[in-house]
C-alpha cells in the first residue's frame, strides 16, 4: 500500500510557483497517450479536438478566408490524429502535420493510408521545428498556443515566422479571460479502478489554481497509485485581444482578421475564444 505521509500529500497539493513543472511529456506515457487518442476520437465532446462537424467548418472557413488554392503548402502544429490535415489535403493542399505524440502520429498515418490521402506526418516537438520559407499557412488549433509559457511562445513564434513564405498566414485560436468568469480556485478528490491517468486503481486530487488575476489557469492532478505518486500540471494562458495583438506584433505578425472562433463567428467583449488570422509582416 502507498505509505505517503499526510505532510507530503499536503505539500504535493499546494499551489506551485507559476510554471513550476510537473511530470514531463505525459503525451508519450503509453496509457495516457491512448486515453488522449480516445478523447480526440470521442464525438460526444470537444475535450481534446473539436467535433468533426466543427473541424470541417474550420477547414472550409480558413481555405476561403486565406484564399488557399490547390498546391499551396500548409503546416499543422500539434496535428493530433490528423483531422485537419486530411481535410486540408482533400482541398488539394500539400500538408505537413507534426505532433509530439507517437501514438497520434501512428493513428494519423494509418488513417491517411486507409483513405489514400497523402500527408507528410512527423513525430516532432514543434518547439524544435526548423523550416525556412516553406508554407503558405501555419496552423495551431484547439487553443494549444495557450499552453506555452513565455519563452516557449517566443521560440514557437520565431519558428513559425521563419517557416512561412512572405505574406504567409499564421492561424490560431486562443481563450480569453472571460472563460474563467464562473470559476474559483477549487480542489476535488476522485477514486478510479482505472482511468485517464492510470490503468490501475488510483486516487486523483484535482486542483484548479489561478495566477495573475485569472489570466493563467493551472489544472494540477495529483495521482496516487499503490506504489507511486505523480503530479501533472497543465498551465493555460488566456489572452485579451489587445495582449495577443501586441505579442504577435512584437514577433513580426499583424492580425488581418479576428473572430470569436475559427469558423468565423463574430467576436465581441463576452467571447470566450478568439480565432485569429495573422499575417507575416515584411521586415
Ligand atoms: C489538444 S490536442 C489538439 C490536437 C489537434 N490540433 C486537434 O485539434 O485535433 C494538442 C495536440 O498537441 C500535441 N502537442 C503538445 N505539445 C506539443 C509539442 N511541443 N510539439 C508537438 N505537438 C505537441 C499533442 O500531442 C496533441 O496531439
Which pLDDT score is estimated for 124? 96
Contact criterion met (CB below 8 Å) for 224 and 3: no
Rounding to the nearest 10 degrees, give the CA dihedral for residues 235, 259, 73, 40. 50
Q: Reduce the secondary structure of 71-106 to three states and give it as a string.
A: CCEEEEECCCCCHHHHHHHHCCCEEEEEECCHHHHH
**Quick one: cell of 186?**
477549487
Contact criterion met (CB below 8 Å) for 132 and 159: no
Is residue 99 within 6 Å of ligand 1 at its C-beta?
Answer: yes
Give me ligand 1 centre to Cα 145, in Å. Answer: 10
Rounding to the nearest 10 degrees, give the CA dihedral for residues 129, 131, 136, 141. 0
Q: Look up residue 48 and give its DSSP letter.
A: S
Give me ligand 1 centre to Cα 98, in Å. Answer: 8
pLDDT in tens, 174-222: 999 999 999 999 999 999 999 999 999 999 999 999 999 999 999 999 9
β-bridge pairing 164-175 and 186-192: unpaired
Task: Tell me the domains of the chain and their CATH numbers.
Answer: 6-25+179-237 (no CATH), 42-176+239-280 (3.40.50.150)
How far is residue 88's CA from residue 29's CA, in Å, rounded to a whole number? 29
β-bridge pairing 120-123 and 94-99: parallel
Largest Cα–Cα separation, the chain: 62
Contact criterion met (CB below 8 Å) for 49 and 141: no
Is residue 97 within 6 Å of ligand 1 at its C-beta?
Answer: no
How far is residue 57's CA from residue 60's CA, in Å, rounded to a whole number? 5
Which residue, by CA, sits nearest to atom 25 of ligand 1? 101
Pick 27 or 69 by higher pLDDT.
69
Looking at every residue in the chain, the average pLDDT score rounds to 95
Q: Where is 192: in which H helix or E strand?
A: strand 186-192
Give me ligand 1 centre to Cα 78, in Å. Answer: 3
* pTM (predicted TM-score): 0.96
pLDDT in tens, 84-113: 999 999 999 999 999 999 999 999 999 999
Amino acid at each position: 500500500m502507498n505509505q505517503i505521509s499526510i505532510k507530503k500529500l499536503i505539500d504535493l497539493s499546494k499551489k506551485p510557483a507559476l510554471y513550476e513543472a510537473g511530470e514531463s511529456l505525459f503525451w508519450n506515457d503509453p496509457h495516457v497517450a491512448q486515453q488522449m487518442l480516445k478523447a480526440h476520437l470521442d464525438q460526444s465532446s470537444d475535450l481534446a479536438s473539436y467535433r468533426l462537424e466543427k473541424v470541417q467548418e474550420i477547414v472550409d472557413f480558413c481555405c476561403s478566408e486565406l484564399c488557399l488554392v490547390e498546391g499551396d503548402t500548409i503546416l499543422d502544429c500539434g496535428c493530433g490524429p490528423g483531422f485537419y490535415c486530411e481535410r486540408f489535403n482533400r482541398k488539394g493542399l500539400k500538408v505537413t502535420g507534426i505532433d509530439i505524440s507517437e501514438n497520434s502520429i501512428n493513428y494519423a498515418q494509418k488513417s491517411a493510408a486507409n483513405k489514400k490521402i497523402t500527408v507528410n506526418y512527423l513525430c516532432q516537438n514543434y518547439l524544435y521545428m526548423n523550416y525556412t520559407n516553406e508554407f503558405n499557412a501555419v496552423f495551431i488549433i484547439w487553443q494549444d498556443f495557450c499552453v506555452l509559457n513565455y519563452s516557449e511562445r517566443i521560440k514557437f513564434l520565431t519558428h513559425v515566422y521563419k517557416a512561412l513564405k512572405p505574406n504567409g498566414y499564421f492561424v490560431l485560436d486562443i481563450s480569453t479571460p472571460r472563460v474563467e468568469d464562473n470559476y474559483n480556485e477549487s480542489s476535488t478528490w476522485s477514486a478510479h479502478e482505472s482511468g485517464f491517468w492510470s490503468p490501475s486503481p488510483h486516487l486523483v486530487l484535482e486542483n484548479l489554481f489561478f495566477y495573475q488575476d485569472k489570466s493563467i489557469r493551472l489544472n494540477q492532478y495529483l495521482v496516487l497509485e499503490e506504489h507511486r505518486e505523480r503530479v501533472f500540471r497543465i498551465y493555460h494562458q488566456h489572452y485579451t485581444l489587445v495582449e495577443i495583438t501586441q505579442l504577435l506584433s512584437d514577433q513580426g505578425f499583424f492580425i488581418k482578421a479576428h473572430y470569436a472562433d475559427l469558423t468565423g463567428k463574430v467576436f465581441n467583449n463576452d467571447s470566450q475564444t478568439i480565432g485569429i488570422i495573422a499575417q507575416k509582416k515584411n521586415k
